[in-house]
């Protein structure tokens, strides 16, 4: 990592790399850190922080291009890569939603809520309101498990079924709910949880 930071941190690159690895544990986690977390860990190295955040935006944009061209399905590899880059390294659970049209084409995606390291409280109303505002026909949910356990909890299953029932009543389809970890992605639909 120090070699990558030399253009931005000069002779301080080895010390900065050690600080970032000490704080985040890996280059991947440093790339996924929030701007505040990154700035706190790299105090005095604003150029390096800007470069790391810029690199993340480039990676997200490149992966996002593939998602826009791919169908919104729970088994789509491009979507898995994108969601893992967005969610897998986060220290807290985050719920992300991908909205689609009647043909399953991508409309938009966004993180709709963030919880703790082991729990997230997803509210159906803002999610459904956003889907209707976009004119979406359906959506795919994804959330990460910072624990690395790539299986849904009882709360995940119950919450997903509740959201699916509400969506269906409004003629919206819940396509799938994916659980994302650093190593894998689990489809609740393929796993028989929906």
Q: What is 73-187's CATH topology?
A: Cytidine Deaminase; domain 2 (3.40.140)
Q: Residue 180 pLDDT more than 90? A: yes
Q: Give per-residue pLDDT as tens, 90-145.
A: 888 999 999 999 999 999 999 888 776 566 677 889 999 999 999 999 999 999 99
CA distances from 96 to 49, 83, 169 (A): 25, 8, 22
Using an 8 Å Cβ cutoff, are 17 and 5 in contact?
yes
CB atoms inside a 10 Å sphere around CB 123: 12
pLDDT for 96: 94
* Averaged pLDDT score across all residues of the chain: 88
User: How would residue 39 be classed by pLDDT, with cut points 50, 70 and 90?
Assistant: confident
pLDDT for 98: 97
C-alpha 21 chain-centroid distance: 21
Predicted TM-score of the model (pTM): 0.78
pLDDT for 119: 64
- CA dihedral defined by 6, 11, 14, 16, rounded to 10 degrees? -80
Q: Which has the minimum average pLDDT: 2-11, 27-36, 100-109, 112-121?
A: 112-121
Of all residues in the chain, the percent with pLDDT exceeding 90 is 45
Sheet strand arrangement including 185-187: 106-114, 94-100, 138-144, 173-180, 185-187
Q: Residue 146 pLDDT more than 70? A: yes
Give me the residue spans of the domains in the chain: 2-60, 73-187
Which has the higher per-residue pLDDT, 49 or 139?
Answer: 139
Q: Residue 67 pLDDT more than 90? A: no
Of all residues in the chain, the percent with pLDDT exceeding 70 is 97
């Amino acid at each position: 990592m120090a070699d990558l930071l030399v253009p931005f941190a000069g002779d301080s690159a080895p010390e900065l790399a050690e600080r970032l690895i000490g704080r985040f544990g890996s280059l991947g986690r440093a790339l996924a850190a929030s701007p505040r977390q990154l700035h706190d860990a790299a105090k005095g190295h604003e150029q390096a922080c800007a470069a790391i955040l810029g690199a993340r935006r480039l990676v997200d944009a490149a992966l996002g291009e593939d998602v826009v061209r791919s169908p919104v399905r729970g088994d789509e590899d491009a979507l898995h890569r994108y969601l893992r880059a967005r969610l897998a390294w986060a220290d807290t659970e985050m719920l992300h939603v991908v909205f689609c049209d009647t043909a399953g084409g991508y409309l938009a995606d966004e993180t709709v809520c963030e919880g703790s390291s082991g729990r997230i409280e997803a509210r159906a109303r803002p999610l459904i309101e956003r889907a209707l505002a976009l004119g979406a026909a359906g959506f795919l949910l994804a959330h990460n498990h910072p624990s690395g356990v790539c299986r849904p909890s009882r709360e995940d299953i119950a919450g997903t079924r509740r959201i699916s029932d509400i969506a269906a009543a409004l003629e919206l389809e819940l396509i799938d709910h994916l659980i994302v970890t650093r190593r894998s992605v689990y489809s609740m639909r393929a796993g028989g949880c929906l």
